[in-house]
């Protein structure tokens, strides 16, 4: 059963996070020439590896599927406007991303390593060390990611790219990045910070069957 107060608190927190990171989202993608000139050692990646792309204020995550393919969660408002796969498969622009975050619509999609990282450095399986968790076998990680491909609800707090990869890699959907952002929320940036509430019952948890049920109910 839905808790209206919890839903309201979660919505406010998500909006505050979006506002606090707005400069990051609106600053534009990395310089195109850099993206084109960056060479990645794709042969060093193994199927099921977690690829991590550090940015200035946040980190983007994906699961390597092999053959220069990366599965990752991307907010994209275009998914709510058209079924044209030729349009939606194009690299997501910042405008599409921002509106996707606001509209809570995303997809777990497959892009090349180059389009996924867009010129940034890539860390491999860094979460294994930072979270000190035992990873599942790489093939199981990749299969989990492949089963989740397609549209999914999006939430900065409860269902973001880090939730996706931690579910695939460790079997538990968590996002230390989101927790850290909330804990750093200051009075100046976000008003009086409130404790991070427990996950709302209505919020999707990263698991293939749960996501399908959530979409069907919406």
Catalytically annotated residues: 161
* Continuous segment of H or E residues that includes residue 167: helix 161-170
Q: Which residues contact 34 (CB under 8 A, 6 or more apart)?
A: 119
Instruction: Using DSSP bridges, classify how beta strands 105-111 and 69-75 pair: parallel, antiparallel or unpaired.
Output: antiparallel
Q: Which residues contact 130 (CB under 8 A, 6 or more apart)?
A: 176
Distance CA 18, CA 26 (A): 11
Distance CA 32, CA 199 (A): 38
Q: Which residues contact 123 (CB under 8 A, 6 or more apart)?
A: 51, 52, 53, 54
List the structure tokens of 1: 């059963």
């Amino acid at each position: 059963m839905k808790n209206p107060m919890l839903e309201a608190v979660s919505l406010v927190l998500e909006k505050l996070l979006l506002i606090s990171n707005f400069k990051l989202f609106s600053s534009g993608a990395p310089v195109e020439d850099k993206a084109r000139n960056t060479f990645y050692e794709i042969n060093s990646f193994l199927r099921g590896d977690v690829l991590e792309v550090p940015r200035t204020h946040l980190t983007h995550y994906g699961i390597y599927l092999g053959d220069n393919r990366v599965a990752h969660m991307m907010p994209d408002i275009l998914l709510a406007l058209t079924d044209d796969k030729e349009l939606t498969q194009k690299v997501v622009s910042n405008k599409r991303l921002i509106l996707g975050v606001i509209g809570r619509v995303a997809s777990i999609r497959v892009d090349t390593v180059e389009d996924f990282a867009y010129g940034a450095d890539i860390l491999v399986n860094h979460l294994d060390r930072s979270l000190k968790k035992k990873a599942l076998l790489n093939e199981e990680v990749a299969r989990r990611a492949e089963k989740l491909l397609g549209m999914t609800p999006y939430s900065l707090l409860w269902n973001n790219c880090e939730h996706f990869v931690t579910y695939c890699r460790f079997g538990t959907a968590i996002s230390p990045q989101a927790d850290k952002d909330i804990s750093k929320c200051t009075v100046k940036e976000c008003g009086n910070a409130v404790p991070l509430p427990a996950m709302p019952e209505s919020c999707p948890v990263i698991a293939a069957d749960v996501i399908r049920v959530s979409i069907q109910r919406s």
